[in-house]
Amino acid sequence: MKRIGMLTGGGDCPGLNPVIRAVVKRAYHEGIEVIGIKNGWKGLIENETMPLDLRAVSGILPRGGTILGTSRTNPYKKPEDVEKVKANIKKLGLEALIAIGGEDTLGVSAKLYKEGVNVVGVPKTIDNDLSCTDFTFGFDTAVNIATEAVDRLHTTAESHHRIIVCEVMGRHAGWIAVYAGMAGGADIILVPEIPIDVEEVYSLIKKRREQGKTFSIIVVAEGAKFKKGQLVTQEEKLDSFGHVRLGGIGQTLSELIEEKTGLETRVTVLGHIQRGGTPSAFDRVLGTRFGVKAVELVLQKKFGQMVSLQGNKIEAVPIEKAVGELKTVDLDLYNIAKIFFG
């Protein structure tokens, strides 16, 4: 094994640079050259690369984002793009590829592996919704940021006797909402897994008022739906993986609450704040462990595998299995959170 490639695809998140650094350092000890692919799959289509040596990764451990850049490019949208990816892998002399990303990036990896490309996957998403791994890096940092935001919203909500709705990320899974809501002491937590019953929301707010609580904090995941099943979106245009751009559930919910209860209601949308900035210590360590394990899988020629955290051990699982279905919030965990509602 002389040369491998590495890319980061999909949304950025804290912990990507620790993975990149770990891959380069582990590969260095084996005399393996690492080529960085710029901007995810787009870089392999257009053959945009950068050398990754020890100097290139020096000092990047605490940095958020990714020094390789990223994109939401899906090469399987056009058959000719898939051929370009394969041709450029060959042209660059890459004997293996480490793909770092979420369900979309790793979904492409699973397809390429079936077509003969030597791929190893590393799970990345702040939503923590990839199967076969207990946690993905980026999630812990996002939860810490969201929790701090909820803590800060408490003081202003209490001072003004307001209802404040805090919208957090979470397209199909409400892990951030549940963890940040529990850690921040939210009064109501709403997730994509369970349709929103607005009458129950009104009832819980009323119950708090009767108990002398003049404010309420509601944490809602961006992908939460009302019982009618309609997603609230910013626009109907789809990205290359067929996803709509979510956002607006917090505003819609706050307007309904104010109209129904007559109580002053405000909304705060955390958005990209959750996945920007310095990674937490947990995410730095997890990313480092993932990166080291990814190189070891390459050395062992265990392609088509994804590194994963299971308990406190880093294991390997088939990429295809990991992207087969999303990991949604455990209902036992949500039921614990519900004890504190209202």
CB–CB of 121/314 below 8 Å? no
**Nearest partner of 26 among 6, 11, 48, 45, judged by Cα:** 6
Question: Would residue 239 show up in a list of annotated catalytic residues for this protein?
Answer: no
Give percent helix, percent strand, percent coil of the chain, each to the nearest 5. 40, 20, 35
Q: How many CB atoms lie under 10 A from the CB of residue 196? A: 21
Q: What are phi and psi of 77, to 5 degrees?
A: -70, -30
Alpha-carbon span 119 to 108, nearest angstrom? 10
Buried b (16+ CB within 10 A) or exposed e, 209-236: eeeeeebbbbbbbbbbbbeeeeebeeee
Residue pair 194/298 in contact by the 8 Å Cβ criterion: no
Whether the Cβ atoms of residue 204 and residue 198 lie closer than 8 Å to each other:
no
CA distances from 64 to 55, 93, 113, 202, 247 (A): 18, 30, 29, 39, 23
Angle 7-9-11 from CA coordinates, rounded to 5°: 140
Distance of alpha carbon 38 from alpha carbon 216, whole angstroms? 45
Distance of CA 51 to the CA centre of its chain: 27
The C-alpha atoms of residue 103 and residue 191 are separated, in whole angstroms, by 19
Of these residues, 104, 127, 140, 283, which one is catalytic?
127
Select from 47, 26, 28 the least CA-distant residue to 36.
47
Positions annotated as catalytic residues are 127
